[in-house]
Amino acid sequence: MTVIATQADSLAKVSLVPSAPTWKHVISIFTVERYMLPLANSFMVTAASLLIVLVFGLSCAYVLGRRSFRVKFRNALLVWVLLVRVLPPIAFALPLYILMNDAGLLSTKLPVILAHVLINLPFVIWFMLAFFSGVPEEIEESARVDGASEFTIFAKVIVPLVVPGIAAVTILSFMDSWNEYLYSVIFIQSPDSFTVPLKLATLNSEQELTEWGKVASGGMISMIPVLLTAVFMQRHLMNGLTAGAVKE
């Protein structure tokens, strides 16, 4: 319980129950380290990238996963999407940095958002392909007979049927984006734009190496948004992750 332990207790012994519990580390992380700002930055980056990923990922997965759409080079597109996912993230760091530097966007949060989109978009497309492919085509044909447009079929007929899959990719993409460190440390230049992983890294610097209470408090607080999201979407998440299981 380093979060509520004093500095002396943290260095003297390891105990589940500190001899003198204190909340000064939690208070200090907000008053001295201004931890609310990294939390807001992380939420902004994660929410923006997640919205973009869901809009484009679901649309692409629907078009590539349904036989009613005749897409040229479908298999080649799927392989290309998969290659983007399997390549290490560091492979895209230099090209993205050059593009964002030439565009004059390095001082904004846009490079980090686009980097998170690059990471999560292939995952969403491949994950949702199985869900869209599993929806019977007769449902779409019935909607077309009733005069529904393609967008109406997608938004009001197909999407409600794949909500478990959407919930699964939402929580997994949220976790991936919230905990992403590599692109944050490359693109973010101002302390006012630090995300949570980057702020935690600065807390564990050479000067603050023994401030275990601050480091533990920051790590504990950073887990709360992920835990709340997982609890809120738990039912849909479990259904989504087990939807492909073999049933007798």
Write the burial class of residue 236 (CB in 10 Å: 0-12 exposed, 13-18 middle, 19+ buried): middle
112: left (phi over 0), alpha (psi -120 to 50) or beta: alpha
The domain segmentation of the chain, as residue ranges, is: 38-202
Query: Within 10 Å of residue 189's Cβ, how many Cβ atoms?
Result: 10
List the chain pLDDT tens, one digit each, 248 residues.
555 555 555 555 555 555 556 666 677 778 877 888 999 999 999 999 999 999 999 998 888 877 666 767 777 878 888 888 888 888 888 888 888 888 888 878 888 999 999 889 999 998 888 888 888 888 888 888 888 888 888 888 888 888 888 888 888 899 899 988 888 888 888 888 889 888 888 876 655 555 677 777 788 888 888 888 878 777 766 665 555 444 44
pLDDT tens, position by position, 146-169 = 888 888 888 888 888 888 888 888
In whole angstroms, what is the distance from residue 208 CA to residue 7 CA?
A: 12
In whole angstroms, what is the distance from residue 209 CA to residue 204 CA?
A: 5
Assigned fold of 38-202: MetI-like fold (1.10.3720)
In whole angstroms, what is the distance from residue 194 CA to residue 109 CA?
A: 10
Instruction: Please report the pLDDT score of residue 56 as a whole number.
Output: 93
Largest Cα–Cα distance of the chain, in whole Å? 75
